[in-house]
Amino acid sequence: MPEGHTVHRIARQLSADLVGEPLAVSSPQGRFAAGAARLDGQVMERATAVGKQLFCEFTSGDVLRVHLGLYGAWDFYGRITPIVEGQAARGSMGAPRLRRAVRMGEDEREQPADEGGLVFPPPPVGAVRVRLATSQSVADLRGPSACEVLGPDEVQAVVDRLGPDPASTDDLDAAADVVADRVTARGVPVGQLLMDQSVVAGIGNIYRAELLFRARLDPWTPGKRVPRDVVRALWHDWAGLLADGIRDGVMITREDLDAEGRAAALVDPEQRHWVYRRTGLPCRVCGTPVLVEDMASRKLYRCPSCQR
């Protein structure tokens, strides 16, 4: 499942290439035909993210809400502007005969260019729920768990159900207190609470496992038994990791890496994490085999020695 950094990057990509222009909005798959007709021809004024929720605001006040769920992703074609200063362009900046795509979902990657002379925009491929297009850029959404048009009040109701998101708040310390209140008030395991989007927004399975390891905290500890200063430290650690993920487009959670090691981790997923997907492999700190367990129907990775 795409985690919070990915959704923020999608919002930034939409802001860079589609905001401020009238959009041709369609539903090639047909499942969003009414919503597409409602948005077609409007100017997108703003694209924002809160946790795993994406909100695209249009001139009429209509808002496109998207939740990628387990399998959703956006494909970007044509003009694809670098969304981080100093970062190389991730797509074709020249003639739109080059059909180049950046996919933003659970994994972010550049697709091969198609130099077969296809005109722009490229024809939709597969089950595209909604296509947003300008004369130079196309964004195709496929496989979301939610895709709907809401009014401002409905959007606010969605946001009000979410916990704090470090990338969407101006006061990290105040938000830390909110998260501490919500965690320490409940007897649910802290590993489950971190995945509860009403407690803290944006954390998925990877960040959950890695944050808990970095804190050397047993995921099965009831929230009400976790000291408030530990919860606050988790929140601030999450804020730092989220900022890194938004910048780099990948989740690198090992703080022991030097510059060379980090560069290697950018291209080798096996070097990025402490415990995630390392079942049976020795803990990078103590050598104890990493465990995988089931917590609320999701896989939980931990070191049974370091996280007591």
Among residues 22, 122, 298, 304, the one annotated as catalytic is 298
Most confident of 66-75, 93-102, 274-283: 274-283
Structure tokens that stand for 270 in this block: 């096996």
Q: Kindly report the pTM of this predicted structure.
A: 0.89
Q: Does residue 299 have an active-site annotation?
A: no
Q: What is the pLDDT of residue 126?
A: 87
Q: State pLDDT tens for residues 22-66.
A: 999 999 999 999 999 999 999 999 999 999 999 999 999 999 999
Q: Does residue 2 have an active-site annotation?
A: yes
Q: Does residue 210 have an active-site annotation?
A: no
The pLDDT of 260-287, averaged and rounded, is: 97
Q: Does residue 298 have an active-site annotation?
A: yes
Among residues 52, 90, 100, 131, the one annotated as catalytic is 52
Domains and CATH numbers, the chain: 4-158 (3.20.190.10), 163-302 (1.10.8.50)
